[in-house]
């Protein structure tokens, strides 16, 4: 690392001549837990998102263009891997550094950001007070919402002034003069903004500064429309001569912010600048520019220690700071997290952000075996899978012929691997990763706020205690926890008891197989039941893609039975059975989700449940019932098909992903059907499924079984009661979603737009008809331009359909996020409707 002590610098002289400032206030040690800020900046960001108005949040968190560079800043740090050294004798880490002759408590400062007053009335006053309390510097924006006259006296730590070079240089000169007189220690010239980048969120929102928010250091200047103001006032012809001009009007050190190219860094050193900030303006200028971290090593190498190099963009963790130091930075600046902290709790929130990062940096250094910032070396970073394209794969030579380059033809792999149904979820994950800031109606997963980490350990201990009360000794208990266990599972008795108490399902433990999630249950069931090419699986459609994927992987033929608007109807199933038999097919089973179906949200009526059971008996088919959402839905539950089953016509597949937690990956199959072999010997279908399982996953992890078993014991088998709080959350989410849809799309609006949705009674999903083709291209536009994700319903129609429908999953969100997500969705739908209108009018003519 570079030595940065320059006691004879202009900054040191300025600091020595400046009168002492009042001591800043200190953070209340209890403020973090009291405010619920959590241990990371991510939690603070989430809280800020709930507190800020949508337009303000978009202005702060948005980027330029398609926001590729915005996403790349974060992705670059996510890809970094740190390799710690051991036995270094480093002791507790020391984080202080010296930059431009001043000591900072850590290599960290506040980046220049306009209008802190957008998120809190104290604005920059709170920010500089927090920086002073943390012993860190602040770079005050030219477009600060609080004036230098008010801010400078509160700055008990280094204060730098950021400027843009305006066409009217008289204004710039005046501001620099006032800054120097106020005790500012350096001028930070932003050089990457000849105009403002195209910030599409602000364009869509028609963003304007609210009343009372103005550039306090530029009196009389109208900046209510930031983009228009920049276009009129910024100097697009700015060149390197500006450095000499700044030198002519001020003796303050000059820091250039916005450098990404090594050649520009070399030129800056030649021009005698005092420091550089590697930055892409937080992804708000040229979309497609490299992540700041990706550009850092080349810039640092070009500077070669001639001046300090700072990094700005994407810092969200202490390990991010450490990675930046290893790749050549002397310090970093943070932007958006400070505004998030201010939005949550003003001064206390901003200080919490700084202290969290300082603490995380100290912890990371200690764990990496590093004593001081000067000891950070490049080899700390083992690999950075940055945002540049990967190198082409290197073919592996054949061991007997070095010249050969063997490969696999996909045409000779299983046909399911070329099936688009197996790509649909991969596409959705890719879109989610590409647009991490988008609010997601796509993820049908439980709300994480309902999970308590410590409870898992309590459940494990509870299960071990249960084993002891059953008379197992220590060796036997150890075996239950650490060994494979039986293929059918070791907690079947507890599952059977819970099913009896919660679902009125009378199932012997021997009729249950414990599986690795419901997905394995589907695979085992299909493999056992479908033995002949004539066998046919019927699926209620739109259907869960997991059953289609399992069928395709196993080569099981299937056919769809279309749900009506309110769900599946038995007479449609009968018609399908008769039609396929007439073609020589043998319908063997029907797969359905009777309660709060994924994806439609429909629930089968009690009348239709009885009709389906009668139909199954008449036509000698099985019903494969999959109902994961029942025990996390509020209100009265209709009986399961299995509890109504008197002729063993139902194979019941269950999952604890929603009623316990997905990480357990635990499910079960109730298969009490009698199987008779050619010799007349009988067994249960469950025993046959266990044979198949022994050749697939061997057993379900005993640790997962122990965790779920402890939960079942703790709630006396009544998961519905244990999930009452979670069910209330999902019900509130559903009510919020329905209310917001009604608010944004009143009856006359949705009728005119051919827009509609169903009204589920529970579960995680709602189905919506939209006036445009809801395909992958539309989803990408929605995520990129409007910041909201959803799932095309066409994914759930294996034989085609659903092209003008979307699925909205509301379980993983909170009511405030649902309200904002619906607002974004409404803007997207309106934009799509308008874009499609000319074509529709032409078609009508």
Q: What residues contact residue 405 under an 8 Å CB cut-off, 6+ apart?
A: 395, 396, 397, 398
| Ramachandran angles phi, psi of 384, nearest 5° | -125, 105
**Could you give the CA distance from residue 219 to residue 148 in angstroms, rounded to a whole number?**
12
CA distance 751 to 730: 28
Give the CB-side neighbour count of residue 138, counting CA atoms within 13 A.
34
Torsion angles phi and psi, residue 23, rounded to 5 = -65, 135
Q: Distance (Å, rounded) from C-alpha 634 to C-alpha 721?
A: 10
What span, in angstroms and rounded, lies between the C-alpha atoms of 420 and 422? 5
**Separation of alpha carbons 53 and 684, rounded Å:** 59
**C-alpha dihedral over 169, 173, 175, 181, to 10 degrees?**
180
Separation CA 368–CA 362 (nearest Å): 10
CA-CA-CA-CA torsion sign (830, 833, 834, 835): positive
Length reported for the chain: 845
Let me know if 580 is a catalytic residue.
no
| Whether the Cβ atoms of residue 589 and residue 755 lie closer than 8 Å to each other | no
- Tracing tokens 């009291």 back to the chain, one arrives at 34
Q: Residue 747 is encoded by which pair of tokens?
A: 């009856």
Q: Which of 120, 229, 281, 596 is catalytic?
A: 281
Cα three-residue angle 795-564-815, rounded to 5 degrees: 60
| Distance, CA of 492 to CA of 521 (rounded, Å) | 14
Cβ-proximal residues to 307 (8 Å cutoff; 6+ apart), any chain: 268, 269, 273, 274, 275, 276
Cis peptide before 542 (omega within 30 of 0): yes
Quick check: helix, strand or coil at residue 117? Answer: helix
Helix (H, G, I), strand (E, B) or coil at 186: strand
Q: Is 646 helix (H, G, I), strand (E, B) or coil?
A: coil
Query: Cβ–Cβ contacts within 10 Å for residue 742, how many?
Result: 13
Q: Which SS3 state, helix, strand or coil, does residue 555 take?
A: coil
Q: Kindly report the backbone phi and psi dihedral angles of residue 92, in degrees, each rounded to the nearest multiple of 5, phi listed first.
A: -60, 140
- As a 3-state breakdown, the chain gives helix, strand, coil percent values, each rounded to 5, of 45, 15, 40
Dihedral of alpha carbons 418, 424, 428, 434, sign: positive
- Spatial separation of the C-alpha atoms in residues 49 and 66, rounded to whole Å: 21
* Sign of the Cα pseudo-torsion (715, 721, 724, 726, in order): positive
The set of residues, in sequence order, having a beta carbon less than 8 Å from that of 478 and lying 6+ positions away, is: none
Helices (H), 209-335: 226-233, 241-249, 262-270, 292-303, 318-326
| Distances from the Cα of 284 to the Cα of 61, 76, 115, 780, angstroms | 9, 17, 16, 20
Within 483-596, residue ranges assigned H as helices are 492-503, 517-529, 545-554, 570-582
CA dihedral sign of residues 467, 470, 474, 478: negative
Which two three-digit tokens encode residue 457? Answer: 């350990």
CA atoms within 13 A on the CB side of 830: 11
Residue with tokens 């892409």: 280
Non-local (6+) Cβ contacts of 377 within 8 A are: 326
**Tokens, residue 608:** 């239709």
CA angle 274, 278, 281 (to 5 degrees): 120
Q: Write out the catalytic residue numbers.
A: 281
């Amino acid at each position: 690392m570079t030595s940065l002590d320059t006691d004879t610098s202009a900054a040191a002289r300025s600091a020595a001549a400046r009168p002492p400032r009042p001591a800043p206030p200190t953070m209340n040690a209890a403020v973090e837990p009291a405010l619920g800020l959590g241990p990371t900046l991510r939690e603070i960001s989430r809280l800020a998102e709930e507190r800020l108005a949508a337009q303000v949040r978009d202005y702060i968190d948005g980027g330029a263009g398609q926001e590729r560079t915005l996403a790349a800043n974060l992705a670059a740090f996510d890809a970094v891997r740190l390799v710690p050294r051991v036995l270094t004798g480093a002791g507790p880490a020391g984080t202080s550094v010296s930059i431009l002759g001043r000591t900072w408590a850590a290599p960290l400062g506040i980046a220049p950001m306009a209008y802190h007053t957008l998120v809190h009335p104290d604005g920059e006053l709170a920010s500089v007070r927090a920086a002073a309390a943390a012993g860190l510097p602040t770079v005050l924006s030219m477009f600060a919402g609080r004036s230098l006259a008010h801010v400078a006296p509160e700055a008990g730590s280094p204060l730098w002034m950021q400027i843009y070079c305006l066409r009217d240089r008289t204004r710039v000169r005046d501001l620099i003069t006032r800054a120097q007189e106020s005790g500012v220690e350096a001028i930070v010239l932003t050089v990457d903004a000849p105009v403002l980048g195209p910030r599409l969120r602000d364009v869509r929102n028609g963003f304007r500064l609210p009343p009372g928010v103005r550039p306090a250091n530029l009196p009389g200047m109208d900046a209510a429309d930031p983009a228009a103001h920049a276009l009129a006032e910024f100097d697009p012809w700015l060149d390197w001569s500006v450095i000499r001009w700044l030198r002519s009007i001020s003796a303050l050190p000059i820091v250039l912010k916005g450098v990404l190219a090594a050649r520009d860094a070399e030129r800056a050193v030649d021009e005698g600048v005092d420091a550089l900030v590697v930055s892409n303006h937080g992804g708000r200028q040229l979309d497609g520019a490299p992540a700041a971290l990706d550009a850092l090593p080349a810039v640092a190498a070009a500077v070669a220690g001639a001046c300090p190099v700072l990094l700005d963009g994407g810092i969200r963790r202490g390990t991010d700071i450490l990675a930046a130091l290893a790749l050549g930075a002397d310090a970093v600046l943070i932007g958006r997290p400070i505004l998030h902290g201010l939005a949550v709790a003003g001064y206390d929130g901003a200080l919490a952000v700084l202290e969290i990062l300082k603490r995380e940096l100290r912890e990371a250094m200690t764990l990496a075996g590093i004593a001081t910032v000067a000891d950070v070396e490049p080899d700390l970073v083992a690999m950075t899978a940055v945002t540049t394209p990967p190198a082409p794969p290197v073919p592996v030579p054949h061991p007997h012929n070095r010249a050969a380059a063997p490969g696999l033809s996909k045409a000779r792999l299983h046909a399911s691997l070329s099936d688009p149904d197996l790509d649909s979820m991969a596409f959705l994950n890719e879109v989610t990763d590409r647009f991490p800031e988008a609010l997601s109606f796509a993820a049908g997963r439980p709300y994480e706020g309902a999970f308590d980490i410590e409870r898992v350990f309590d459940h494990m201990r509870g299960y071990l205690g249960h084993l002891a009360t059953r008379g197992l000794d220590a060796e036997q208990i150890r075996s239950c926890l650490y060994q494979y266990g039986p293929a059918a599972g070791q907690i079947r008795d507890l599952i059977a008891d819970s099913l009896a108490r919660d679902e009125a399902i009378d199932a012997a433990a021997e009729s249950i197989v414990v599986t690795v999630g419901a997905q394995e249950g589907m695979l085992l069931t299909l493999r056992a039941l479908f033995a002949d090419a004539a066998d046919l699986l019927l699926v209620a459609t739109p259907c869960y893609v997991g059953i289609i994927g399992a069928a395709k992987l196993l080569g099981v033929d299937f056919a769809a039975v279309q749900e009506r608007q309110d769900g599946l109807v038995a007479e449609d199933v009968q018609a399908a059975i008769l039609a396929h038999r007439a073609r020589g097919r043998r319908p063997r089973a029907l797969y359905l989700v009777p309660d709060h179906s994924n994806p439609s949200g429909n629930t089968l009526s009690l009348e239709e449940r009885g009709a389906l059971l009668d139909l199954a008996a008449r036509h000698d088919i099985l019903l494969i019932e999959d109902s994961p959402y029942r025990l996390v839905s509020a209100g009265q539950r209709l009986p399961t098909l299995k509890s109504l089953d008197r002729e063993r016509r139902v194979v019941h597949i269950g999952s604890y992903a929603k009623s316990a937690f997905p990480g357990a990956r635990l499910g079960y199959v109730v298969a009490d059907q009698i199987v008779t072999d050619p010799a007349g010997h009988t067994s249960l279908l469950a025993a046959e499924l266990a044979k198949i399982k022994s050749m697939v996953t061997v057993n379900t992890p005993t640790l997962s079984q122990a965790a779920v078993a402890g939960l079942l014991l703790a709630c006396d088998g009544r998961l519905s009661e244990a999930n009452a709080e979670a069910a209330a959350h999902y019900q509130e989410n559903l009510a919020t979603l329905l209310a917001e849809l009604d608010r944004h799309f009143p009856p006359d609006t949705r009728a005119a737009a051919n827009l509609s949705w169903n009204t589920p009674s529970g579960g995680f999903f709602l189905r919506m008809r939209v006036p445009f083709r809801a395909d992958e291209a539309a989803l990408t536009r929605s995520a990129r331009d409007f910041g909201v994700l959803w799932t095309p319903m066409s994914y759930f129609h294996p034989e085609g359909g659903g092209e003008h429908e979307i699925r909205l999953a509301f379980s993983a969100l909170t009511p405030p996020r649902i309200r904002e997500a619906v607002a974004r969705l409404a803007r997207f739908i309106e934009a799509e409707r308008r874009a499609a209108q000319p074509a529709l009018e032409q078609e009508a003519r």
